[in-house]
A and B are shown apart, each in its own frame.
Chain A
Amino acid sequence: MSNEIIAGVLEIIMNNALPGVAQACIMLMCAPLIAGIINKTKAQLNKRQGASVFQEYFDLIKWWKKPTMLTPYTSWIFIMAPIIYFATSFMAAMMVPGFLTNTVTFGDAFVFVYILALGRFFMCLSSMDAATSFGGMGGAREIYVSVLVEPAVMLAVLINASRYHTTTLSHMVMNYDAAYFSVSAVLACLAFFMVILAENCRLPVDNPDTHLELTMIHEGMTLEYSGRLLTLIHLGSFLKIVVFLTLFGALYLPFNIPLVLKIFLGAVVIGIVEIINNKMRLFKVRVYLAAAVVMLLVAIIAQ
């Protein structure tokens, strides 16, 4: 009896967790490269030479080697938040149907969305922990954006859920027909891309390159971090972009090309979008995300 249980558990681990971990590790290795490609695209379009696409690896190594400074006024949340943020991104990377987990049965869409929300929640808490002015402002804005992003992400998930009658991401992917080209698919594709920009703090919602603390959203929350904790936050953010691009490629981009190519294509398009847009007024973000929600609603109806 007990042997059966152990065997069952082992089977689940072998079939589900191990491929998931392996996949997340691969995505983690590639994540800084994707960020580097976005930066290189932007630099080239600005007629600058730009840093090498591998620059983010060097930056991460640099931050990892630096000492981690902590103010005596912070609590355990300040240390735990980057770890949780990274861990949630990593879990999301395990769940997202990509290369190795297509046959896996875990990875419910709702769990996926709220695992990421958990990481964000802890980042917002930590932004207030050090009690600096910029951190609190960044945290408040992050909550404002995420409240608006949430319905859009849920609707995007529901489109596929209603089409394939499942909320398991891998089942959706297995059934996904890339040649299925309809109004609904195009709208969902565009809207989900808008959501990716908002969710990952890219232009036109947030400016990842700015040094102006007063305008920051995500960067504002990370201002107090240094050393290894900062490395974890950055790794987590890079990984999150890859996770979303993978999901985008696997479920929303209606072209029949390899997934890896779709991810790289997505990175280049993010770079281009960041060049042709400037940051919108903070209170216009709701209009932007409302547009995404409406597109998704129409996509559901048109389906």
Chain B
Amino acid sequence: MSIMKISPEAMHETAHMFSIDNYHPLTAMFGRDETASGLGYTIYMVFENFEKRDMDIAKAVFDPHGHLEYETLTKLVPAAAWFEREIKDMFGIIPKGHPDPRPLVLHENFPEGFFPLRKVVRKNQQERGKREYKMRTSDGEGLFEVPVGPIHAGIIEPGHFRFSQAGESMLQLDAKLFFTHRGIEKAVEGKTPDEALHIVERICGACSVSNTWSFCQAVEKALDVKVPRRAEIIRTLLSELERIVNHVGDIGNMPAGVGFNPAISLGGRLKEQTMRLCEAVAGNRFLRGVIVPGGVRQDITHELIVEIREVLKKVRFGVADMGIMFKEQDSFQNRVQTTGIVPKEVAVDLAMVGVGARASGFAHDSRKDFDYGMYPELDFEVCTHKSGDVAARLLVRLEELEVSFKLVDQLLKLLENCEDNTLKADLAYNGPRESWGISESPRGSNFHYVALDNEGKIDRLFVRSASYANWPAVPFAVTGNIIPDFPLINKSFELCYACIDR
């Protein structure tokens, strides 16, 4: 992995060179404390390069005793907005001229001058304090605000939404998230990848395969390990199963926003069937514990292959039923069409990923953009729609389900014909290494960066989940819609709080 080392002043120019006016999306931007090796604080900028099928990475080095400031990149690369705020919270490196200088992760109850990801801060260090966090509001005749959350009715994770309203129309939405920040990136420091795996698997319940896979890819790439073919097939299969579970659950959840009862029931039933299949495959309903650095822990037996085929055949019929139900219900179509539009320019500028991006006509799918798993050998299409509304996100999911069913068929055939029975390659740690991994979760690409120290222990883990990339687009999607449509729009993205509260 080649990394360009630059000075803070050159960040602007480098970002401009890499992004080519946002043609290459910003995948991640994160800080790292390298004071131990005498380098100081660094900021990594990771841009996706479609042509090379690789990442362009540069790191800016800051002197810890000097001015921890740089000119903000947000005005050049809008997708950098959240990353820069998070780096400011975690390392205290200030982006000058940032359009939104509020804290992102550390809310009012943290003291000023507390930067948890610096190495001088101990794990489990208790800090309480007070700082300012102002919600964005609007002022004017007849305008009012609607605060919602952080505690919601129903079993939802915490998030505070502040709507600025003109009657029923939403003028502006400000979302305050990160209420349950768990400090996972700090917690895994000093652990071996095998120990950290159990924590990484639990970042999120919806995309635990994808998070684990990205993490393992990063570790394997850092240590130059070649994963056995059988393990790759099983990993890809699990990833597609995870996509099926989540897409079925998501399309079954969307009608709940409009009270379309039969579809809610059918969706719930199908999701339960797929989750039981997951339990048969992995021993748990979230497909955890199978993928490990170097390969997989358990095989998929012949009986399981038969069961997967049987269950998915039933689910496939159910999904087709659901598609018909959606198409034929005019009043449902009336609700989803032209609701919550994300224009393509917004999707590109904010470097959206996954379903959200593809529904806006931005064909961004890491299964096609990068070479990982079995995807280069498999035959599949990237599903895109142009309208960018709730209906488009629903259709993209329905079409991707069909693609996933076909992919599982192909993968099961590959698995049956695979002679090689090795499941896991051995890892050997030598010297400080760093690398990244990416995989396509049901919500979009999950990017992990791992740096290992001399003893093979984790020095820095950075997780950019799909939800992290897509959350900033939600306020754009809701503006101009009416507030009773917000639950539906929100459900159409189905973004995860746990993924960003890592």
Contact residues of A with B, CB < 8 Å?
42, 45-48, 133-134, 137, 203-204, 207, 209-215, 274-284
Contact = CB atoms under 8 A, between A and B. Distances in A.
B376 interface: no
Interface stretch (B40-48, B126-134, B147-155, B340-348): B147-155
B331 A278 contact: yes
B494 to A, nearest CB: 15
Given A204-B331, A278-B329, A278-B332, 9 more contacts: A46-B261, A47-B265, A134-B146, A203-B259, A215-B257, A275-B261, A278-B260, A281-B335, A282-B484
A215 B484 contact: yes
B269 to A, nearest CB: 8
Contacts of B114: none
B179 interface: no
B484 A211 contact: no
Contacts of B264: 46
Contact of A210 (B259, B335, B482): B259
Contacts of B329: 278
Given A212-B153, A274-B261, A278-B260, A284 B334 contact: yes
B482 A280 contact: no
A245 to B, nearest CB: 21
B50 interface: no
Nearest to B263: A278
Contact of B147 (A133, A207, A281): A133
B261 A213 contact: no
Contacts of A134: 146
Nearest to B161: A214
From A133, A134, A274, residue with most partner B Cβ within 10 Å:
A133
Given A133-B147, A133-B148, A278 B484 contact: no
A137 B486 CA distance: 14
Size bracket, chain B contacts = 20 to 34
Contacts of A212: 153-154, 257, 487
A213 B153 contact: yes
A283 B482 contact: yes
Interface of B: 145-148, 153-154, 168, 255, 257-262, 264-265, 269, 329, 331-332, 334-335, 482-487
Contact of B485 (A47, A207, A281): A281
Given A47-B265, A204-B331, A213-B148, A137 B483 contact: yes
A216 B235 CA distance: 44
29 contacts: A42-B261, A45-B261, A46-B261, A46-B262, A46-B264, A133-B146, A134-B146, A203-B259, A204-B331, A207-B259, A212-B153, A212-B154, A213-B148, A213-B153, A214-B483, A214-B486, A215-B257, A274-B261, A275-B261, A275-B262, A277-B331, A278-B261, A278-B329, A278-B332, A278-B335, A279-B260, A280-B334, A280-B335, A281-B484
B486 A211 contact: no
Contacts, number: 71
A282 B259 contact: no
A204 B258 CA distance: 9
Contacts of B487: 212, 214-215
Nearest to A223: B153
Contacts of A282: 168, 482, 484
A209 B269 CA distance: 19
Contacts of B484: 214-215, 281-282
B259 A279 contact: yes
A109 B189 CA distance: 76
Contacts of B269: 47
Nearest to A133: B146
From B145, B146, B148, B329, residue with most partner A Cβ within 10 Å:
B146
A47 B272 CA distance: 15
Nearest to B487: A212
A134 B163 CA distance: 12
B192 to A, nearest CB: 44
Contacts of A46: 261-262, 264-265
Nearest to A283: B482
Contacts of B148: 133, 213-214
Nearest to A276: B262
A280 B329 CA distance: 12
B316 to A, nearest CB: 19
Contacts of A42: 261
- Return the 8 tightest CB-CB contacts between A and B, nearest first: A278-B260, A207-B259, A46-B265, A211-B153, A133-B146, A279-B259, A215-B484, A212-B487
Contacts of B485: 281
Nearest to B153: A211
B321 to A, nearest CB: 13
Nearest to B255: A278
From B261, B262, B334, residue with most partner A Cβ within 10 Å:
B261
A280 to B, nearest CB: 6
Contacts of A211: 153-154
From B255, B262, B269, B486, residue with most partner A Cβ within 10 Å:
B262
Nearest to B149: A213
Contacts of A214: 146, 148, 483-484, 486-487
A166 B416 CA distance: 82
A215 B146 CA distance: 13
Contacts of B147: 133
Contacts of B262: 45-46, 275-276
A279 B487 CA distance: 13
A254 B259 CA distance: 31
Contacts of B331: 204, 277-278, 280
